[in-house]
Amino acid sequence: MALKIRLARGGSKKRPYYHVVLADARSPRDGRFLENLGSWNPMLAKDDEKRVQLNAERIKHWLDNGAQPTDRVLRFLDEAGVAKREAKNNPVKAKPGKRAQERAAEKAQKIADAAAAAADAAE
CATH 3.30.479.30 fits 3-80, yes or no: no
51 Cβ neighbours under 8 A, 6+ residues apart = 40, 41, 42, 44, 45
The whole-number pLDDT of residue 37 equals 95
Q: 69: exposed, middle or buried (C-beta count within 10 Å: 0-12, 13-18, 19+)?
A: buried
pLDDT over 80 (residue 52) = yes
Q: Per-domain residue ranges for the chain?
A: 3-80, 90-122
Dihedrals φ, ψ of 64, to 5°? Answer: -65, -25
pTM for the predicted model, two decimal places: 0.70
pLDDT on residue 43: 95
- Give residue-wise pLDDT tens across range 54-112: 999 999 999 999 999 999 999 999 999 988 888 888 888 888 899 999 999 999 999 99
Mean residue pLDDT of the chain comes to: 92
Q: What is the CA radius of gyration of the chain?
A: 25
pLDDT confidence of residue 93: 83
